[in-house]
Structure 1
Amino acid sequence: MNVVVGYTVNFIGYAIPLLLFSGLMILRIDRMELKKNNMTKEQKFSTFLGVTNIVLALSFFVIRSMFF
């Protein structure tokens, strides 16, 4: 049985830019389009989702810089 020692799969390096980019695009494009169409509930949810993505990206970045 072959065992590889010292190798870990790290998803945080991929998740940070993806969350940041998707959060910014949701806030920039989706929210403006919903505001133009007067869809207030959907606009509030897309704002929440965009801010959540950005907060997750920043918290993953802080965790990564502290522990990795």
Structure 2
Amino acid sequence: MMTDTERDTLYTDLCRTMTRIGEADASLFLARFALLSIEAIGEPATVARLIADAGDGLPDAGMPASTHER
């Protein structure tokens, strides 16, 4: 388990990277980061839960949220 300081440092690095690459490429960066994270996590149930948790409370554009059961 990481410490609060480690988590904050990593999140700051993530934000700085997105600022450096610019708003136009931020979506591409986040997609690449997500794919690398999915591979590193390596557990389908964990990844499916994280996807669902990340989407909770965000607007629904009318598309199905997932084909994967929680």
TM-score greater than 0.5 by the shorter chain: no
- What TM bracket, shorter-length normalisation? 0.3 to 0.5
- TM-score by length of structure 2 reads 0.32
Bigger share in helix: 1
- TM-score by length of structure 1 reads 0.32
